[in-house]
Structure 1
Amino acid sequence: MYLAIAIQLGIICIIQAATQGDTTSCGGCCTAPAGIPGIPGSHGAPGPIGMKGDIGVKGEKGNQGLDGKDGLPGKIGPTGLPGAIGEKGERGEKGQQASTNSQPKSAFSVAFKTDPGRLPVSPIKYPLIITNFGNHYNKETGKFVCQHPGIYIFQFASLSSNNNNIVTSIMKNGQRILSSFESGSDYKSVSNMVVLDLVANDEVWTEPLSTNYNYYHSNVNTYCSFSGFLLYATSIKMYLAIAIQLSIICIIQATAQHDTQACSGCCTAAAAGIPGIPGSHGAPGAPGPIGLKGDIGGKGEKGNQGLDGRDGLPGKIGPIGLPGAIGEKGERGEKGEQASTNSQPKSAFSVAFETDPGRHPIGPMKYSSIFTNVGNNYNKDTGKFVCQHSGTYVFQFTSGSSDNGNIVTSIMKNGQRVVSAFESGSGYKSLGNMVLLDLVANDEVWTEPLSASYNYYYSNTNIYCTFSGFLLYATT
């Protein structure tokens, strides 16, 4: 390009010089024909930048931004409230057949084989142990201590020394239950029996009435003895169930009290976690279309904020609430099958006179005081025991006579005299007898004086007149 310009400039200079020489020499009178046209010049350089155009039309509003991202998971909810009370338990399964050996055992027999002489007014300490199943008789104290609640049979026999008086009593926890006495000449023997309902740690023993009635005698023939045994054990399952329920209630109450102190009752049911953090703003909308010629139009307005991000995932489940209160006790299971012995029905009684009956009329003796009446088969108003469960029963009586009065007491069954005992002569006297009877339902048994010549009875708060009975074997 520069070379072409140089050539053109050189040609122009030559033409001008020739023109100038010709003019000088001819004085301007000569003219020459026009030269050929020169080569066209190249395009000129670009012109300067034009004036700034008008502002372009405002761009359209950008599109709405995309939704923000999901928020973070919420925080763990608070601990839930304790659960509701549990549903009532299902009915228990049928009980297993009882074992013939399931009843606890307790039995003892103790005695004197030497002459005890005058004994102190305190528990009689029998030195000879004949039987002590369970070791519940304490030789050192002379007392039987109950370990298994239930119905017990106790019996004693005592012999007085020659021409001396004797009164022996059965004591329970310091209370005189019943007694038997003899006074007058010669050696005299007394005995009595009682049925007692005991609980754990009850104590039973024999004791002289006073220092005027404590002249005992024995030898190798063993005239003084004391025996007892458990007839029917009282089931402790019911007491155990109650104890367990009370313990559970105490635990629940203690737990509830502790929780109340810890949170002041501010806990509420667990809720979903708090919503997640809102998503970030959406991206700006796309720029509007380019305006007309001129500067690029102003930036369009920011698009609307994107929608909030969705709620974060629910927080993790709070810790499990405390257990609900214990549901109601289920229904009692069906009765287990009957066992051969200890599941038999129970029937036992001991009754007495605590006041002086005097001359008792001929007919059933209506004992006014009831010590024991398991099954309520002894009727205090009629004086009769009425059999409800067929089986073999043991019946025993002891009667005290008034001073110088004669006495004959009999055990009656359905109006028939079965056995009797007799005392006559001077002084106060005591007698007794025992029998085993096979009974069927509605059989009646009672005691009765023999006649109006042998009905001189005597008793007081020391209880000299008693009547007892119990079911030994039930008929299956």
Structure 2
Amino acid sequence: MGGYDGLVVLVGVALLLTTGRCDTSCGGTDGSPGVAGTPGRDGRAGMKGEKGEPAVKAEGPVDEVVLLTLKGEMGNRGLQGVMGPKGYRGDLGATGRPGQPGRPGPDGKNIGHGQQSAQQGHSAFSAIRTDNSLPRYEQRVTYQTIVVNKPGDFDKNTGYFTCRVPGVYYFSFHSMSKVSMCLRIASDALNEKLGFCDYNRNNDQVLSGGVVLQLTARQKVWLESFRDQQPSTDQRDTRDKYIIFNGFLLFSNDPELHFSLCGTGRGGFYFPVCSVRLPIMLHHFVLVIGALLSFAVPVKVAMESCPAAAMPGIPGMPGLPGRDGRDGEKGQKGDPGAAWAGGLGPQKGEKGEPGLMGFPGKRGQSGEPGRSGEPGLSGPPGEAGEPGTVGTQDRAAFSVARGTNEYPEKASVIRFTKVITNINNDYNTETGRFRCRVPGTYYFVFHASLEDRLCVVLKLDQTLLTSFCDHRRGRRQVTSGGLAVHLSQDQEVWLETKDYIGMRGKPTGFSIFSGFLLHPH
């Protein structure tokens, strides 16, 4: 009984020991072996074999230097290199024929209050008094007939010429009667009136006078009769009488134009109409904020027990690559050279491979001159023309009067010392000569009051142009003469006396010398 019990205890202890070992070491069967590693790299090439024996010719071995000089045929020419830089520019081709001219631009605009600009202005009139009665003394002369009046600055009913275009004008008159007559030119622009008288009895006699005046807008010029020493019976004479009054614009003054940098108002006046635009810059900033959320999910693996029969383990990792192979063996000795017998000798090598691409070519030569261009297209219409101007360099005019009642000296230059008009002082009152500043065609005229015989000559640089003589004596009268002359710059013109010197200069009998530019050259 006791032995049986001991056996039972021994078996129980053995079971307990087996159960405890399973809890502490719960391993399954071994896994399968890992995959074999990749093969190792080939070993290094073996050493170069020894040089073969040289070729042998009948009388001995071939010289190695000779063999080295025998090259194979030159390989084919390599590919063409890339194109070189562009050649120098060729000569410019001939100029093409000019295109057709563009259409004329629109006419320039007028300046002022809807009227013609001063440069475009014009003014001329001729009026005739045909009334047989003498004009009343100290009264304006009025007229019955208008020959020309453009654009209407003269009023025949009032006898007034009213200046519309500021500038330089020439006025003259001519009268014919059988009685004595005294007329004078009057104007707002004159400090004194310019009188001329002709005393006559029963014979047709012509009286004339003229002057150059510089006028401003709205100034007036007129002709009036005045009393000097005429007999009272002349006022009642009713025989034919004519008085002709003329005037025309020589040069208009330069208008004073005021330009604004901003805008143009109505009626030709310029005044500022400025506007300023300020740019507004708007900036929009958009901020985008993103959040990336990451999270990890833990995985819990619990093992409650170790089964008695476990699964095989994971296969092992692949093995490491194998080692490099052994170095190759030394190469065999080269074959002997070909025998040189019968005078063949060493042969050239095989034809080489094509060469590499060549370098870029050199810069090409200049190209040939281009062909003539095609005719240009017609130009666009021109812009509106600027208003024309009359520059001071193209203006020349004067009127001067004798400042004394004394006769001038014989064979001497007649000096006119009282200035009425003298543009740019071209007439010198000290020398009595007009010096040409603007080359061109001029007209010179004089009206001389005299009480004795008078002969004057018109000279150009010591050259006699013409002479005028009046041999009537004993009565006051007026003689006149004029001539158009072409002048070059710095040439001089003047009046000169001869043997007869009966020229006067006083308020009731002016002597005036005038000249003005007709056409510049």
- Using the size of structure 1 for normalisation, the TM-score is 0.53
Secondary structure of 2:147's counterpart equals: strand
Q: Which residue of 2 aligns with 1:232?
A: 251
Partner residue of 1:116? 133
Which one of 372, 394, 418 corresponds to residue 345 of structure 1?
394
Distance in 2 of aligned mates of 1:241 and 1:408: 55
Correspondence 1:206-355 to 2 at 5 A: 206-210=223-227, 212-213=229-230, 223-238=242-257, 345-355=394-404
Q: Which deviates further from its counterpart, 209-218 or 125-134?
A: 209-218
Instruction: Quote the residue 2:198 is aligned against.
Output: 182
Q: Is the 8 A contact 2:445 2:481 kept in 1?
A: yes
For structure 1, the 5+ residue unaligned runs are 1-95, 243-335
CA drift at 1:218: 9.8
2:504 pairs with 1:458: yes
How far apart in 2 are the matches of 1:132 and 1:140?
13
Distance apart, 1:98 and its partner CA: 11
Q: Measured at CA, do residues 233 and 435 of structure 1 come closer, stay the same or move farther in structure 2, by a change above 3 Å?
A: same
- Give the superposition deviation at 1:414: 1.2
The residue type equivalent to 1:150 in the other structure is G
Structure 1 position 445 matched with structure 2 position 516: no
Q: Quick one: distance in 1 between partners of 2:135 and 2:387?
A: 51
**Equivalent AA in structure 2 for residue 429 of structure 1:** Q
Matches within 5 A, 1:87-236: 102-161=119-178, 164-173=179-188, 176-185=192-201, 186-210=203-227, 212-213=229-230, 223-236=242-255
RMSD: 3.3
Q: Report SS of the residue matched to 1:450.
A: strand
Q: Could you say if the C-alpha distance between residues 160 and 354 of structure 1 is closer, same or farther in structure 2, counting changes exceeding 3 Å?
A: farther
Structure 1 residue aligned with 2:459, among 412, 418, 440? 412
Q: Which of 369, 372, 384 in structure 1 is aligned with 2:433?
A: 384
- SS of 2:196 mapped into structure 1: strand
Superposed displacement of residue 343, structure 1:
8.3
Which residue type is aligned with residue 169 of structure 1?
Answer: R
Paired residues of 1:399 and 1:457 also in contact (CA < 8 A) = yes
Give the conservation status (yes or no) of the 8 Å contact 2:118–2:254: no
Distance in 1 of aligned mates of 2:207 and 2:438: 32
**CA shift digits 1:432-472 (9 cap, x unpaired):** 01110011011110111122xx1022221235211000011
Measured at CA, do residues 223 and 140 of structure 1 come closer, stay the same or move farther in structure 2, by a change above 3 Å?
closer
- Contact 1:184/1:426 (8 A) holds in 2: no
Task: Tell me, in whole angstroms, the C-alpha distance in 2 between the residues paired with 1:343 and 1:369.
Answer: 23
- Distance, in Å, in 2 between the alignment partners of 1:179 and 1:344 is 32
Given the alignment, which residue of 421, 425, 430 partners 2:478?
430
Displacement of 1:119 in angstroms is 3.2
Q: Secondary structure at the match of 1:160?
A: strand
- 2:421 pairs with 1:421: no
Change (3 A) 1:118 1:138: closer
1:195 and 1:358, CA in 2 relative to 1: closer, same or farther beyond 3 A? same
In the TM superposition, what is the alpha-carbon distance from 1:342 to its structure 2 partner? 7.7
Residue of structure 1 in register with 2:413 after alignment: 364
Secondary structure in structure 2 of the residue aligned to 1:375: helix
Contact 2:460–2:494 (CA under 8 A) maintained in structure 1? yes
**1:176-224: CA deviations, max 9, x gaps?**
442222114322211111110101111101111217559599988x842
Task: Answer whether contact 1:106 1:229 (CA < 8 A) is retained.
Answer: yes
Partners of 1:223 and 1:415 in 2: how far apart? 39
Q: Which amino acid aligns with 2:480?
A: G
Between the aligned partners of 1:338 and 1:203, the Cα distance in structure 2 is: 27
8 Å contact from structure 2 (residues 443, 517) kept in 1: yes
Do the aligned residues in 2 keep the contact of 1:177 with 1:462 (CA within 8 Å)?
no
Q: Given the alignment of the two structures, is residue 373 of structure 1 paired with residue 415 of structure 2, yes or no?
A: no
For residues 9-30 of structure 1, what are the alpha-carbon distances to aligned partners after superposition, in whole Å with 9 as ceiling and x for unaligned?
A: xxxxxxxxxxxxxxxxxxxxxx
Instruction: Give the corresponding residue for 1:265.
Output: none
Q: Is the 8 A contact 2:254 2:390 kept in 1?
A: no
The superposition leaves residues 390-428 of structure 1 with CA deviations (integer Å, 9 ceiling, x where unpaired) of: 1100100011112xx211122211122222322223211
Query: Which amino acid in structure 1 is aligned with residue 413 of structure 2?
Result: P
- Alignment: residue pair count: 281
CA distance in 2, matches of 1:107, 1:382: 33
Number of the residue aligned with 1:305: none
How far apart, in 1, do the equivalents of 2:454 and 2:512 lie? 14
